[in-house]
């Protein structure tokens, strides 16, 4: 799958804010409640959860909550909105914080911790984090030595989506190098089609897909160490290294010969970027996160012989292996009540993740979720990579940057497409927000 709004729009689709209340039925506890004993038993309590996750994802998510509610007695009142990043700070500062906010960006988590209202995770959630996740995930929500969240859902952003039928039509096979991928783009051009699908419109988060493209190139060109210096502000956008990265990104996904009219890229909804373009062959490939699988129409089959498939975005060189850029949402508590801690622990556990994985369109970094729970062959591969306790995993860089820098990154990249602003001027404008 850049901000709350980003992942908000990402995992939701295009709907109004959704509010769902799950209530327990007054019947004898079914057998599956054995999985939920660890979270305790409560009566007449409600935990309010706020996020940018909207329908159709929100409806699937709240459906999963029903077993937890049935077995623990904790009602989960969920509210989703496409204005999450704007509304959360207002609510927290105004004394109207939710019990839990599901936050996609570590940068926003740091901002919320600075208010003094966020609550560090408790023992059970910390135990889940240490047991089931690569240590990198813990570092993303650690602020001044205290941990504030464990991943809820997670995604790999280092993917390229394509149509196996269209690849076959032009005689292409899945590339393993950047040069091979460029050659496939040339074949699409020769067939009179655009090599790449692209769209960056996402409501208040417009621009975030294009920041992902910069990040993918930075990771491949500079490696994980310099990538981490970059998001920390120790390597400026205007530096020679990052100017080289931005120029190469522009050549890849910032010219009309590659993606078509650039102003159209700025106004095309990211959800529509690859649908139906990949299927009808209007465009050949889409660089987008694993969560994009939920954007395809119902009934779409995935895999090398399916309607759509995905491959790892190849390295531009062999210096840094095959690092993964990951993204995730982190449930952060704003209350010390026991039922709130129970819900937070539930979100970090295999008990939630296994049920959610079976419903498709979602992946997790939780190694306690059996890979057999993922029916989709693409998502199973993604989940396996995210679950690895070894290897280099970096987080979405702009989500780690301060909120002001993150927002400027989206807006300035949008100006590159919508107004023709140069990458040099884009970089200078972003750097001014540090």
Q: Cβ–Cβ contacts within 10 Å for residue 350, how many? A: 19
Identify whether 56 is preceded by a cis peptide bond (ω within 30 of 0).
yes
Question: Do the beta carbons of residue 316 and residue 178 sit within 8 Å?
Answer: yes
Q: Cβ–Cβ contacts within 10 Å for residue 321, how many? A: 10
Q: Cβ–Cβ contacts within 10 Å for residue 207, how many? A: 27
Q: Domain spanning 156-325+398-431: which superfamily?
A: Periplasmic binding protein-like II (3.40.190.10)
Question: Do the beta carbons of residue 102 and residue 152 sit within 8 Å?
Answer: yes
Start-to-end CA span in the chain (Å): 25
Task: Please tell me the CATH code under which domain 4-155+327-387 is placed.
Answer: 3.40.190.10
Q: Which helix (H) or strand (E) holds 287?
A: strand 283-287
Position 28 confidence tier, pLDDT thresholds 50, 70, 90: low
Question: 328, 430, 402: which is closest to 108 by C-alpha?
Answer: 402
Tokens of 63: 């459906």
Mapping DSSP to helix (H, G, I), strand (E, B) and coil, where does residue 106 land?
Answer: helix
The mean pLDDT of 167-196, rounded to a whole number, is 97
Tokens of 282: 């209007």
Position 13 confidence tier, pLDDT thresholds 50, 70, 90: very low
Q: Where are the domains of the chain?
A: 4-155+327-387, 156-325+398-431
Higher pLDDT, 18 or 337: 337
Q: Give the tens place of pLDDT for each residue, 226-277.
A: 999 999 999 999 999 999 999 999 999 999 999 999 999 999 999 999 999 9
Give the position of tokens 């109207």. Answer: 96
Question: Do the beta carbons of residue 306 and residue 380 sit within 8 Å?
Answer: no
Q: Do domains 4-155+327-387 and 156-325+398-431 have the same CATH topology?
A: yes
According to the model, what pLDDT value does residue 10 have?
Answer: 42
The mean pLDDT of 179-183, rounded to a whole number, is 98
According to the model, what pLDDT value does residue 391 have?
Answer: 64
According to the model, what pLDDT value does residue 192 have?
Answer: 96
Task: Give the mean pLDDT of the chain.
Answer: 91
Burial of 191 (0-12, 13-18, 19+ CB in 10 A): middle
């Amino acid at each position: 799958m850049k901000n709350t709004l980003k992942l908000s729009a990402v995992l939701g689709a295009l709907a109004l804010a959704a509010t769902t209340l799950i209530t327990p039925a007054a019947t004898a506890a079914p057998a599956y409640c054995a999985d939920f004993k660890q979270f305790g038993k409560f009566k007449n309590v409600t935990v309010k959860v706020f996020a940018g996750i909207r329908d159709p994802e929100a409806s699937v998510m709240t459906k999963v909550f029903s077993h937890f509610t049935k077995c623990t007695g904790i009602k989960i009142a969920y509210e989703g909105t496409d204005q999450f990043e704007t509304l959360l700070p207002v609510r927290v500062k105004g004394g109207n914080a939710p019990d839990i906010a599901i936050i996609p960006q570590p940068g926003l988590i740091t901002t919320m911790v600075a208010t003094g209202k966020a609550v560090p995770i408790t023992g059970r959630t910390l135990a889940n984090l240490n047991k089931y996740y690569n240590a990198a995930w813990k570092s993303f929500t650690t602020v001044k030595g205290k941990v504030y969240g464990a991943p809820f859902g997670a995604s790999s952003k280092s993917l390229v989506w394509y149509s196996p039928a269209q690849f076959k039509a032009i005689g292409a096979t899945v590339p393993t190098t950047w040069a091979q991928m460029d050659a496939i783009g040339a074949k699409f051009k020769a067939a009179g089609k655009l090599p790449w699908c692209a769209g960056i419109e996402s409501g208040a988060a417009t621009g975030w897909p294009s920041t992902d493209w910069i990040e993918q190139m930075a990771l491949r060109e500079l490696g994980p160490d310099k990538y981490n210096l970059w998001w920390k502000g120790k390597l400026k956008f205007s530096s020679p290294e990052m100017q080289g990265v931005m120029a190469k990104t522009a050549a890849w996904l910032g010219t009309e010969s590659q993606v078509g009219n650039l102003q159209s890229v700025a106004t095309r909804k990211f959800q529509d970027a690859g649908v139906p373009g990949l299927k009808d062959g209007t465009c050949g490939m889409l660089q987008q996160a694993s969560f994009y699988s939920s954007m395809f129409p119902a009934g779409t089959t995935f895999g090398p012989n399916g309607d759509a498939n995905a491959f790892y975005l190849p390295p531009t060189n062999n210096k840094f292996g095959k690092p993964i850029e990951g993204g995730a949402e982190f449930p952060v508590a704003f209350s010390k009540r026991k039922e709130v801690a129970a819900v937070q622990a539930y979100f970090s556990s295999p008990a939630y993740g296994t049920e959610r994985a079976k419903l498709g369109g979602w992946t997790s970094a939780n190694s306690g979720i059996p890979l057999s729970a993922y029916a989709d062959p693409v998502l199973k591969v993604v989940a396996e990579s995210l679950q690895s306790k070894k290897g280099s995993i970096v987080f979405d860089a702009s989500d780690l940057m301060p909120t002001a820098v993150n927002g400027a990154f989206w807006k300035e990249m949008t100006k590159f497409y919508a107004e023709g602003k140069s990458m040099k001027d884009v970089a200078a404008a972003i750097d001014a927000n540090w």
